[in-house]
C-alpha cells in the first residue's frame, strides 16, 4: 500500500523537489511556483531549518541534507546510541503486562525492546515485521508472529501488502514503534514509504496504548512519509530532554514523555 501524502506533506515534498532541481530558491520563487502564500512557505522553511535539512544564505535557501535519500543502513544505525537504546528498552518494558498482544515494528531501538521483553520473562504475544526478531526471542513465554511480506535488506524489515494484510487481521492492545522522526506539529515519520504503511496499519489495528521509542536525535525531525498525526501517540520514551522545547511541545499535545 503506497503511503499517500497529505496536502502539507505534498507541499513540503514540492519544496524539496524544487531545491533539487534549482539548487537554490527565494521565498518568492517558491510561493509563485507552489501557488501558496509567502507566509506558508516561510513556515515550511523554518521547519526544514529546525530539522537541519535547509539552510539560509545571502542568495536564498538551499538543501543541506536531502530528506529522501538520507536513510541510514541498519548496520550503521544499530551501532549508534547503544547504551541509550538499552535504557529506552528497559523503560518501555515497564509498560508491558502479561497477556498483552503487542505490535512492534522494525528498527534498532525496537530490536532492543524485543530482547528486553524476552529477557523479562513476560508472557506476551508479539506481532512484528522486524526480520531480526527471531534472533533475540528464545523463550516460550513469548509467542512470536512474523508478518511475512517482502524483505527489505536496508532496514531488516518485512514490508508490502502481505505484511499490512496480516496486521489488519489482528487486534492488539499495545503498539511499540521506532521512528525516524517525531514532531509535535506534524506527527511521526519514516524516510521509507513502505515502512510508513506498516506503521500506519499497526496504529490503526491497536486499541490500546501507542508507544514511540526514540533516541534524542529523532526529536523534532521531519521526513518524507508520515505514519500518524501526533494525536495518535500516547507515550514517547526518549533517553534525554536535550531538545527541551520540542519535548515541551509534545507534552502540550498530550504525549506522555518518559525519560529513563
pLDDT digits (tens, 9 = 90+) for 22-52: 778 899 999 999 899 999 998 888 888 776 6
The whole-chain average pLDDT of the chain stands at: 88
Please give the pLDDT value at position 210: 98
- Using alpha carbons, select from 117, 82, 79 the residue that is nearest to residue 97: 117
Pick 7-63's CATH classification: 3.40.50.300, 1.10.10.10, 2.160.10.10, 1.10.1450.10.
1.10.10.10
How many CB atoms within 10 Å of residue 242?
11
Fold of 74-258: Rossmann fold (3.40.50)
Please give the pLDDT value at position 209: 97
Please give the pLDDT value at position 3: 42
Helical (H) or strand (E) element with 65: none
207's CB contacts (< 8 A; 6+ apart) are 171, 172, 173
- 96 has a pLDDT exceeding 80: yes
Q: Of 19-28, 91-100, 178-187, 191-200, which range is least confident?
A: 19-28
Which residues is 226 bridged to in the sheet?
A: 189
Q: How far apart are CA 189 and CA 192, in angstroms?
A: 9
Domain ranges, ordered by start, for the chain: 7-63, 74-258
Max CA separation in the chain (angstroms): 62
Share of the chain above pLDDT 70, in %: 90
Amino acid at each position: 500500500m503506497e503511503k499517500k501524502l497529505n496536502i502539507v506533506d505534498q507541499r513540503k515534498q514540492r519544496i524539496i523537489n524544487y531545491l533539487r532541481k534549482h539548487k537554490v530558491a527565494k521565498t518568492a520563487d517558491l510561493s509563485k511556483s507552489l501557488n501558496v502564500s509567502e507566509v506558508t512557505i516561510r513556515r515550511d522553511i523554518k521547519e526544514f531549518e529546525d530539522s537541519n535539512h535547509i539552510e539560509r544564505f545571502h542568495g536564498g535557501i538551499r538543501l543541506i541534507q536531502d530528506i529522501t535519500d538520507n536513510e541510514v543502513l541498519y548496520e550503521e544505525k544499530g551501532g549508534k546510541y547503544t547504551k541509550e537504546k538499552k535504557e529506552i528498552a528497559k523503560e518501555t518494558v515497564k509498560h508491558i503486562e502479561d497477556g498483552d498482544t503487542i505490535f512492534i515494528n522494525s528498527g534498532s531501538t525496537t530490536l532492543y525492546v524485543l530482547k528486553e521483553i524476552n529477557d523479562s520473562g513476560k508472557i506476551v504475544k508479539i506481532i512484528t515485521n522486524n526480520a531480526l526478531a527471531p534472533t533475540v526471542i528464545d523463550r516460550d513465554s513469548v509467542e512470536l508472529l512474523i508478518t511475512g511480506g517482502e524483505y527489505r535488506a536496508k532496514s531488516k524489515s518485512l514490508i508490502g501488502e502481505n505484511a499490512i494484510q496480516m496486521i489488519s487481521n489482528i487486534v492488539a492492545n499495545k503498539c511499540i514503534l521506532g521512528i525516524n522522526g517525531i514532531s509535535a506539529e506534524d506527527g511521526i515519520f519514516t524516510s521509507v514509504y513502505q515502512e510508513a504503511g506498516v506503521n500506519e496499519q499497526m496504529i490503526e489495528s491497536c486499541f490500546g496504548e501507542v508507544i514511540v521509542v526514540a533516541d534524542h536525535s529523532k526529536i523534532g525531525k521531519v521526513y518524507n512519509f508520515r505514519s500518524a498525526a501526533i494525536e495518535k501517540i500516547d507515550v514517547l520514551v526518549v533517553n534525554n530532554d536535550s531538545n527541551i522545547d520540542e519535548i515541551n511541545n509534545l507534552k502540550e499535545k498530550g504525549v506522555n514523555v518518559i525519560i529513563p
